[in-house]
């Protein structure tokens, strides 16, 4: 049974309403008599009324006083209403309410720090029975209540009357309930060790068993495995370096014989098929694998693209070849827009029709660009045995350029990284 001192305490009433799951009523009047006096917005409320008809001013200073600075009832109630909000959301909500209060009920709310808010909410919800920042109720009244409870417990002021209720149940009188209210719940070793969540200690039990077995055999090797890897060792372990994949740039020109739609069948399968006879909805990025014996015995994964729109500066060290039609506009977005300088760093490849002369630009760029010719398309892939020979020539040129730039199975070497 609650004492009169407790009933006059706003924090006790708030805790009681939370335990009973009864929402208090906010009002703009100290004596709300009608629905017009009740409000929902805390910025407009001046008083709060609990289910036992106790009404308190929201500016009342409570017993919760971190650093001996009492927190107002409005601030306590606001912290409880935002108990599940994150730190950022709670701070933003405090700022918003403080901006609304001057034009509403007036005053302000206090911004409790994380530890203070957690401590207050734990006490209000009944998870804890005491709080470091919570001052006790009036000393005189508390002393009298304690003396009365002690006298009842010792039997000096009468015994505890227990009456027989319905169906054989026992009903204790109010004095017994006062004693029960003064009890403090204690936990066993499981609740103390585990807290509110179950903790799995099986790993440590296995560790302890192995340790005890090694201690029982002093002549044997003392091998005590760690239940978890040492953080220091884990931090010192270097992550494996990611293999850098070479890039082949294609010409985006519509006149190019090799486009994203047919480049894979040409370089991978050794068969030339005109781009206009294949699927026109090809991807803007392709992959193919190729073994280059002088660089790696395992296949290297090549990336094929026809645009540098998503290129980052480090990507240029991974370029292994550039296919071109001889049109200089292709190089405007490249690292080296000047063709002579560009093909001094990267192998160039031009693919034209058999029986036709390469463009003048290709001839002017000299050995920087490999010019090869494929047989003209006759409507089918039969008899195109020379395509495989052309493809092998192109791959040899790419392998030669990569080897010259110091490529290994893990990526470009110093020559490639200094481009």
The 10s digit of each residue's pLDDT in 120-142 is 999 999 888 888 889 888 654 44
Torsion angle of alpha carbons 315, 320, 325, 330, nearest 10°? 10
Residue 161 confidence (pLDDT):
46
Output Rg (C-alpha) for the chain, integer angstroms: 41
Buried-exposed string 356-376: b where 16+ CB fall within 10 A, e elsewhere: eebbeebeebeebbbbbbbee
Which pair of tokens denotes residue 390?
Answer: 């052309």
Residue 4 binned pLDDT confidence (cut-offs 50, 70, 90) = confident
Alpha carbons 74 and 46: distance in angstroms, whole number: 9
Strand 38-39 with 300-305, pairing: unpaired
- Residue 325, SS3? coil
Backbone angles phi, psi at 373, to 5 degrees: -130, 135
CB-CB neighbours of 402 under 10 Å: 25
Q: Which parts of 200-334 are beta strand (E)?
A: 247-249, 286-290, 300-305, 319-323
Who's near 385: CB < 8 A, 6+ residues apart?
A: none
| 406 membership: H or E segment, kind and range | none
Q: Is the pLDDT confidence value at 246 over 50?
A: yes
Residue 31 near residue 6, CB atoms below 8 Å: no
Report the percentage of the chain scoring pLDDT > 90: 38
pLDDT of residue 216: 64
Q: Which of 70-74, 79-83, 198-202, 237-241 has the lowest mean pLDDT?
A: 237-241
Lowest mean pLDDT among 52-56, 155-159, 336-340, 364-368: 155-159
Tell which wins on pLDDT, 233 or 293. 293
Cα 136 to Cα 203: distance, rounded to the nearest angstrom: 44
What is the model's pLDDT at position 318?
94
Instruction: Please state at what angle helix 73-81 crosses helix 10-19, rounded to 10 degrees.
Output: 20
pLDDT band at 315 (very low <50, low <70, confident <90, very high): very high
- Sort residue 71 into left (φ over 0), alpha (ψ -120 to 50) or beta: beta
Q: What is the Cα–Cα distance from 142 to 156, expressed in whole angstroms? A: 19
At the top level of CATH, the class of 247-417 is: alpha beta
> How far is CA 83 from each of CA 19, 42, 158, 251, rounded to the nearest angstrom?
15, 16, 44, 60
| pLDDT higher than threshold 60 for residue 151 | no
| Torsion angles phi and psi, residue 263, rounded to 5 | -65, -35
Q: To which residue do tokens 């405007």 refer?
A: 332
Q: Which residues of 184-216 are buried (b: 16+ CB within 10 A; e: fewer)?
A: eeeeeeeeeeeeeeeeeeeeeeebeeeeeeeee
Instruction: Name the band, by pLDDT with cuts 50, 70 and 90, for residue 218.
Output: low
Report the alpha-carbon distance of residue 121 to residue 18 in Å, rounded. Answer: 11
| H or E element, residue 348 | strand 348-353
- pLDDT tens, position by position, 263-308: 999 999 999 999 887 665 567 889 999 999 999 888 999 999 999 9
Residue 39: in which H helix or E strand, if any? strand 38-39
Q: What angle do CA 289, 290, 295 make, to 5 degrees?
A: 125
Domain ranges of the chain: 4-137, 142-181, 247-417
Name the token pair of 340: 């002579």
Give the pLDDT band of residue 72 (cuts 50, 70, 90): very high
């Amino acid at each position: 049974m609650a004492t009169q001192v407790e009933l006059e305490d706003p924090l006790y009433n708030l805790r009681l309403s939370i335990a009973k799951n009864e929402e208090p009523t906010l009002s703009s009047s100290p004596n709300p008599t009608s629905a017009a006096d009740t409000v929902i917005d805390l910025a407009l409320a001046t008083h709060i009324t609990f289910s036992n008809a106790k009404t308190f001013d929201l500016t009342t200073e409570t017993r919760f006083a971190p650093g001996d600075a009492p927190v107002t009832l409005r601030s306590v109630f606001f912290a409880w209403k935002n108990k599940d909000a994150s730190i950022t959301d709670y701070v933003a909500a405090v700022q918003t309410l403080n901006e609304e209060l001057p034009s509403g009920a007036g005053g302000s709310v206090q911004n409790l720090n994380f530890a203070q808010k957690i401590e207050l909410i734990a006490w209000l919800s009944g998870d804890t029975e005491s709080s470091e920042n919570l001052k006790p109720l009036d000393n005189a009244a508390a002393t009298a209540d304690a003396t009365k409870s002690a006298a009842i417990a010792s039997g000096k002021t009468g015994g505890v009357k227990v009456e027989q209720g319905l169906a054989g149940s026992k009903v204790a009188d109010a004095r017994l309930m006062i004693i029960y209210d003064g009890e403090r719940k204690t936990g066993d070793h499981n609740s103390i060790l585990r807290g509110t969540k179950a903790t799995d200690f099986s790993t440590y039990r296995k560790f302890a068993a192995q340790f005890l077995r090694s201690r029982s055999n002093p002549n044997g090797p003392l091998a005590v495995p760690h239940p978890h890897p040492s953080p220091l060792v884990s931090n010192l372990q270097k992550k494996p370096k990611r293999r850098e994949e070479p890039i082949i740039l294609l010409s985006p020109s519509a006149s190019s014989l090799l486009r994203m739609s047919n480049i894979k069948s040409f370089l991978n399968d050794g068969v030339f098929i005109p781009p206009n006879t294949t699927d026109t909805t090809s991807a803007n990025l392709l992959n193919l694998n190729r073994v280059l014996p002088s660089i790696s015995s395992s296949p290297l994964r090549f990336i094929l693209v026809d645009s540098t729109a998503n290129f980052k500066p480090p990507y240029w060290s991974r370029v292994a070849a550039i296919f071109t039609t001889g049109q200089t506009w292709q190089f405007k977005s490249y690292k080296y827009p000047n063709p002579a300088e560009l093909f001094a760093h990267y192998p160039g490849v031009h693919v034209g029709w058999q029986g036709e002369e390469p463009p003048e630009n290709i001839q002017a760029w000299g050995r920087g660009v490999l010019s090869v010719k494929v047989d003209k398309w006759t409507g089918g892939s039969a008899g195109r045995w020379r395509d495989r020979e052309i493809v092998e020539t192109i791959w040899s040129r790419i392998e030669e350029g990569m080897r010259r730039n110091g490529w290994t199975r893990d990526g470009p070497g110093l020559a490639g990284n200094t481009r």
